[in-house]
Amino acid sequence: MNDLSHTSALTPLAREVERRRTFAIISHPDAGKTTLTEKLLLFGGAIQLAGQVKAKAEKRNTRSDWMSIERERGISVVTSVMTFEYEGLVFNLLDTPGHEDFSEDTYRTLTAVDSAVMVIDAAKGIEARTRKLFEVCRLRDIPIVTFINKMDREGRDPFELLDEIEKTLALSTVPMTWPLGRGRDFAGTYDLTASHVRLLDKDTAPIPVEAGDAAALARAVPSIDAEAASEEIALVQEACGEFDLAAFREGHMTPVFFGSAIKNFGVGDLLKGLGDYAPQPRDQAAATRMVEATEDNLSAFVFKIQANMDPNHRDRIAFVRLCSGKLTRGMKVKQVRTGKSMSLNAPQFFFAQDRALAEEAYAGDVVGIPNHGALRIGDTLTEREEIAFLGVPSFAPEILRRVRLPDAMKAKKLKDALQDLAEEGVVQVFRPRDGSPALVGVVGALQLDVLQGRLAAEYGLEIRFEPSEFALARWISAPTKAELDSFVTSHNFSIADDLDGDPVFMAKSAFDLRYQGERSPSIVFADIKDVKKAK
Ligand code: G4P
């Protein structure tokens, strides 16, 4: 597939970086993400049997109540990463959580990828969730490869689907393959770049057919109306522009593949497309400079924390995306937020069914680092340099609640548990300066159920939520410390500290927030918190 022959001129590090593709799959529930993931992993030889991904998920689900929330609602709350190799390339597939309540978590996962595969159900077209995830990708200029799935079933007209992508997402489409036959008569695809036919249900080599040669097409696929299909292919070639790699990389154009994940059809073409077009690990913006993936020194950021993956061991894994350089097991890195040094003694790679110690990893890879709370979401790790990566933000919660604990003896335990879960990004915790009980904030209501379930299952804490007098939380800043201090002092009953000790203004209503804003024009009320960019 990929021509890597020129890579001999590259440094060993650059060669490793060049062969990496780190991507996520975005889709609406039921479009076929899980099925496609299984098939992709099969290609990489990462799993032996299709069905393993689901089986694994089900096994995990039995482990705690938190997981049963996930099961009951038929969603996947856990983000995981799966690494597989195919034809000389290393693919890191990051799974995005399936429920829209978890937009914050999803957003963070998408900060760690260089491209995305958008899976569309051929019968349904662009659905709400796909659109939302697409918007996040667009914010970050993530290039998108499109896979139109379930071609083995009755679906919508392919031209209509392309038109819908173009209109609703403002994204140019360039089909790479074209379906031959529809629904029950779907017989395979015509590869528009390689000029060959690939047949469904037949494990044969592709059959070369020149575009426009209806007779050859009829010989290759006797079951379809070859004359009509040939005309359609001519129309596709005429109507759809040339594929422009630069436009794709900038997020304006998407190559489109048609297939059927369940029949393992079109998945190889998709994987080849990812290998050929999807970018290698991109340069990443830090507060003070751009960091190139091929720089010698290691840099990385934490985009996800998962605690208690196995409650028996109370382990806590920080998922770290490497941005530059090489990680070698046992090396020492600096945690920029605290200035502390830590040894990476047990970094882990994740496969479909397994984890393994990562002896070495390169920019683009995602490794899990077991730790006891030292690492937080958004943390940067470097060999020495004082840099902080941008773009792993916190969003102002839309729902605020007080946590009511009937058993007052367990207050300390609750405080620690909330701290754990806030560091993991399950909820945000705000500690009011006036000493009243902590408030928890979430972006979606489902997170409250997850919090309640996990507090019970993992910490033995039965809690209830009570409404809070506050409706909104905003991070506050001001041009000078004196101005900020003065605001904080005069609004002490409405100020809380977030996890990092940054001040947050708690407003009773949107009106209250607007009123305070007008009265204190020098104060900035922010609904997103990110690492600050150097001026
Ligand atoms: P998701 O992760 O995006 O939610 O989707 P998932 O892969 O679980 O697929 C949703 C349903 O669509 C599943 O059926 C799956 O078998 C089916 N499916 C996936 N890809 C294709 C395809 O290419 N063609 C057809 N015809 N169906 C496909 P289910 O009945 O809900 O689940 P199951 O009992 O088959 O597991």
Q: What CATH number is attached to the domain comprising 471?
A: 3.30.70.3280
Domain assignment present for 88: no
Domain assignment present for 328: yes
CA of 149 from ligand 1 middle (Å) equals 10
Is 95 assigned to a binding site?
A: yes
Q: Which of 277, 302, 325 is the last residue of a domain?
A: 277
* pLDDT (tens digit per residue) in 350-390: 765 567 788 899 999 999 998 888 898 899 999 999 999 98
Within this chain, do residues 234 and 333 fall inside the same structural domain, yes or no? no
Tell the burial category of 489 from Cβ atoms under 10 Å away from its Cβ (0-12, 13-18, 19+).
exposed
CATH number at residue 347: 3.40.50.300
Domain assignment present for 82: no
Q: How far apart are CA 184 and CA 166, in angstroms?
A: 27
Q: Which of 382, 409, 438 is the last residue of a domain?
A: 382
| Closest ligand 1 atom, residue 29 Cα | 4
Within this chain, do residues 249 and 356 fall inside the same structural domain, yes or no? no
Lowest-confidence pick of 57-61, 246-250, 319-323, 395-399: 57-61
Within this chain, do residues 259 and 152 fall inside the same structural domain, yes or no? yes
Best CA proximity match to 352, nearest among 27, 97, 44: 44
Contact 273, 176 (CB under 8 A): yes
DSSP assigned state of 534: P
Residue 3 has a pLDDT of 54
Within this chain, do residues 292 and 325 fall inside the same structural domain, yes or no? yes
Residue 312 has a pLDDT of 59
| CA angle centred on 172, ends 170 and 178, rounded to 5° | 130
Q: Measuring CA to CA, how many Å separate 380 from each of 21, 107, 252, 321?
A: 21, 18, 30, 10
Is 96 assigned to a binding site?
A: yes
Sheet containing 115-121: order of strands: 81-86, 89-94, 20-27, 115-121, 144-149, 253-258, 172-175
- The answer, yes or no, to whether residue 126 has pLDDT greater than 50, is yes
User: What's the Rg (C-alpha) of the chain?
Assistant: 25
- Name every protein residue with a CB atom under 6 angstroms from any ligand 1 atom: 27, 29-35, 149-150, 152-153, 260-262
Domain assignment present for 48: yes
Is 330 assigned to a binding site?
A: no
Q: Which of 58, 79, 95, 262 to mutate to test the pocket of ligand 1 (most atoms within 8 A of CB)?
A: 262
Decide which of 238 and 106 is more confident.
Answer: 238
CA of 424 from ligand 1 middle (Å) equals 31
Percent of the chain with pLDDT over 90: 62
Within this chain, do residues 261 and 303 fall inside the same structural domain, yes or no? no
Q: What are phi and psi of 257, to 5 degrees?
A: -115, 140
* pLDDT (tens digit per residue) in 294-311: 999 999 999 988 876 655
Q: Which of 28, 30, 80 to mutate to test the pocket of ligand 1 (most atoms within 8 A of CB)?
A: 30
Q: How far apart are CA 395 and CA 392, in angstroms?
A: 10
3-state secondary structure at position 516: helix
Within this chain, do residues 500 and 436 fall inside the same structural domain, yes or no? yes
Within this chain, do residues 270 and 124 fall inside the same structural domain, yes or no? yes
Minimal-distance CA residue to ligand 1 atom 6: 32
Render the burial of 140-160: b for 16+ CB within 10 Å, e for the rest. Answer: eebbbbbbbbbbbeebbebee
CA of 271 from ligand 1 middle (Å) equals 19
Residue 72 has a pLDDT of 45
The number of domains in the chain is 3
Within this chain, do residues 355 and 431 fall inside the same structural domain, yes or no? no
Domain assignment present for 79: no
Domain boundaries, position 371: 285-382
Q: Model's pTM, two decimal places?
A: 0.84
Within this chain, do residues 241 and 362 fall inside the same structural domain, yes or no? no
Is 309 assigned to a binding site?
A: no
Within this chain, do residues 445 and 511 fall inside the same structural domain, yes or no? yes
Length in residues, the chain: 535
Within this chain, do residues 272 and 293 fall inside the same structural domain, yes or no? no
Q: Measuring CA to CA, how many Å separate 475 from each of 411, 483, 523?
A: 26, 15, 10
Q: Which of 324, 351, 382 is the last residue of a domain?
A: 382
Within this chain, do residues 174 and 203 fall inside the same structural domain, yes or no? yes
